[in-house]
Amino acid sequence: MAMVTRRTVLGVLATGAAGAAVPLLSRPSQARLAIVGGGAGGLAAAEAVRVLAPETRLTIIETLADGAAHRRLAADGVTILTEAATDIDPVVRRIRTTAGTVIEYDALVFAPGIGFRTDVVAGYGADAEAAFPHAWTRHNRDRGLGKRLDAVPDGGTVIISVPEAPFSFPAGPVLRAENVAAHLLARRRRIKVLVLDANDTAPLLSERRPLWAARFPAGSIEWVPGHQGGRVTAVDAATGAISGDAGRFRADLINLIPPQRAHDLALSVGLADTSGWCPVDAATLASATAPDIAVIGDANAAAPSAKTAETAGAQAIRAVRALLAA
Ligand SMILES: Cc1cc2nc3c(=O)[nH]c(=O)nc-3n(C[C@H](O)[C@H](O)[C@H](O)COP(=O)(O)OP(=O)(O)OC[C@H]3O[C@@H](n4cnc5c(N)ncnc54)[C@H](O)[C@@H]3O)c2cc1C
């Protein structure tokens, strides 16, 4: 996954893209910058601040601050709170966490990633999430999926259900289908990966198809696009069945990637609009509803077809530059 490093930030400066930020580097600052979400975007923002305004008092609130990057930033003097932010008051500029911690800030980078919609696929909820594991967030990346994949028998079928775009990592379904096929074919003689896609086109699909034809037995991966009935509209966790325009399906394993929107906190704080994503200024990533807050990464509506770590990292640098210039 792409990470923003000191070299990346300096590279952007060197190309002149961040020219206006240079004078700010020499301005002493005791500003308090909070970052909610220490994933790809939040960490990239922290690295950018460490380079562009090292005297900033930086606090990262991250539910799962267990990575090497978190440890490195903590050793560098950044306050890392391994807690979940539960409330943000943009007027008084205050964050509260599940642990009861209160953080006051001058500027906020909001990068909590995605949330899942439960109002699109009938029957989707906690039971369905367990029955059809998605493994589509850091917290849920392998929940049950790896073990259940290994249990798929020879001649078995795996279904991957792809939600309507936008969703995190648009190229992910093609890569996942390929990885699942490669993993199972290395261990079984015959398997089938059936992809039910709500969309008419999938990034990378046309590029990878020739490779699949060369590498896998014919019919190992079948892709059903939206216009051929690929959209899944209902699930039944009790029977293990999913259904849509193409019919009703059961399989040895169903990996249902749920329809997505911005993280729940974006909705409760009022940063998301009716699309479920957070509208922002495309240049500065400032929230359309709370301009003191920069919303970066998957949660925003800025780059619907580019919800990747790389985009989150690039947005982080732009957002930090804009906050420092404000
Ligand atoms: C299976 C998969 C594979 C991928 N592979 C790639 C790849 O190879 N290359 C690539 O460029 N992109 C990849 N992506 C996409 C990439 O992971 C995302 O686009 C990127 O992580 C988005 O960054 P973000 O900062 O917006 O969100 P995230 O990286 O998801 O970070 C959000 C963070 O916020 C934290 N958080 C959530 N709620 C709270 C809260 N209430 N309080 C505090 N913290 C909170 C979470 O713990 C999380 O760490 C992949 C995505 C998936 C699902």
At 189-235, the pLDDT tens digits run 899 999 999 999 999 999 999 999 999 999 999 999 999 999 999 99
CA of 218 to the centre of ligand 1 (A): 34
Ligand 1 centroid to Cα of residue 113, in Å, is 5
Our answer on whether the CB atom of 257 is closer than 6 Å to any ligand 1 atom is no
Is the pLDDT at 6 greater than 70? The verdict is: no
Decide: 63 in ligand 1 pocket, CB within 6 A. Answer: yes
Among 80, 105, 109, 138, the mutation site with the greatest number of ligand 1 atoms within 8 A of its Cβ is 138
What is the rounded distance in angstroms from the CA atom of residue 110 to the CA atom of residue 41? 9
What's the rounded mean pLDDT across residues 54-79? 96
Q: Which is higher by pLDDT, 194 or 14? A: 194
Per-residue pLDDT band at 145 (split at 50, 70, 90): confident
pLDDT at 234: 98
Residue 75: count of CB within 10 angstroms of its CB: 9
Q: How confident is the model at residue 147 (pLDDT cuts 50, 70, 90)?
A: confident
Mean pLDDT of 108-129: 97
Average pLDDT over residues 246-254: 97
| CA 136 – ligand 1 centroid, Å | 9
2 lines ligand 1 (CB under 6 A): yes
Q: What is the mean pLDDT of residues 61-66?
A: 96
Taking CA atoms only, the protein residue closest to ligand 1 atom 53 is 136
Contact between 36 and 9 (Cβ < 8 Å): no
Domains, the chain, ordered by start: 6-113+263-325 (3.50.50.60), 121-259 (3.50.50.60)
How many residues are recorded in the chain? Answer: 326
Query: Residue 299 C-alpha to ligand 1 middle, in angstroms?
Result: 9
| Whether the CB of 124 sits within 6 Å of ligand 1 | no
Stretch 4-23: mean pLDDT: 38
Instruction: Name the CA dihedral angle for 42, 305, 7, 52, rounded to a multiple of 10 degrees.
Output: -50
Q: Which of 36, 168, 305 to mutate to test the pocket of ligand 1 (most atoms within 8 A of CB)?
A: 168
Look over the chain and give the mean of its residue pLDDT values, rounded to a whole number: 91
DSSP per-residue letters across 70-102: HHHHHHTT-EEE-S-EEEEETTTTEEEETT--E
Closest by CA position to 46, among listed 91, 88, 90, 6: 6
pLDDT of residue 141: 60
* Residue owning the nearest CA to atom 38 of ligand 1: 112
- Summarize the confidence of residues 132-157 as an average pLDDT: 85
Please say if the pLDDT value at position 5 is more than 50: no
What type of residue sits at position 31? A
- Residue 142 is predicted with a pLDDT of 61
Position 189 scores a pLDDT of 87
Mean pLDDT across 60-81: 97
The finding on whether 84 has its CB within 6 A of some atom of ligand 1 is yes
